[in-house]
Homo-oligomer: A and B are copies of this chain.
């Protein structure tokens, strides 16, 4: 399978329905693992890195995951293809920009992805639409066990799973949710949320993880601590305690807006929809902001005849590499802005 083939399709977790998906767009659990018989990547020759790539991809491709899986050679992929994989959250920006033998195994529905030779030998993620961390954990834990029957992980009785960066050592787990918090933003409470999250040792990031800004009211929230904790506890703390509280705050803020500033709210939503339906040029950043407002409107029942799925799909498909692979050629910024506007207009006109 070539990455370009993904440019027109939505993924099973981004833009799909799931529990509580009005506020929690998606859930993710990631595990970092390394092979026992190899040093960390920075100490290996390309030849040894290739060995790891072969060994791990073979092991993972042989598993029965209940969904077709395929391998993509990231090192040999074109720049645009690597960018597309990043836009779909199948690989990290670091993996796209990296060097040497490296790849990714992806399941057809894109709910499972395993980066090989990113920072660690193996970084696996399971995604789910909506608020579904328990399910993600169950699935990735099972996959982890299956892989462990085929390869030997670097593991220390004292430290747990060993990782290239000490921030991942121990469980190697990162549990995260992608949140849509427009009402906390509009009511000026978002900074409070960010501060509280950081005080609780959680990381708050933008749509594309580490080092990216929160655009369009989307926030990725994840645990920071991996050492001296049990995986189940990390998952449970976020799943049962932290995320439900944030969801409640966002819901309360939405209620306040509905009751106290219905005109201002409708104005923001309807203007966003009006611009999306009529613009002839639109940047990806502006699209993100406007789609965010419309998404809020759909969730609050202020935009009849428009589905959340359509909005979520537009987030995915209007990204730069998606546009260019769809068009089958490189496009400059103006051309991308024109094509993006055209796709959005068409999609919204049909709804």
Contacts and interface: CB of A to CB of B under 8 A. Distances in A.
Interface of A: 263-264, 266-267, 270-271, 273-275, 277-281, 334, 338, 341
16 contacts: A263-B280, A263-B281, A263-B334, A264-B281, A266-B280, A267-B279, A267-B341, A270-B278, A270-B280, A271-B275, A271-B278, A271-B280, A273-B278, A274-B274, A274-B278, A275-B275
A271 B279 contact: yes
A289 B264 CA distance: 20
Contacts of A271: 275, 278-280
A290 to B, nearest CB: 11
> What secondary structure prevails in chain A residues at the interface with B?
helix
A340 to B, nearest CB: 12
Nearest to A274: B278
A270 B263 contact: no
A329 B320 CA distance: 51
Contacts of A281: 263-264, 267
A280 to B, nearest CB: 4
Contacts of A278: 270-271, 273-274, 277
Nearest to A264: B281
A345 to B, nearest CB: 9
Nearest to A338: B263
Contacts of A275: 271, 274-275
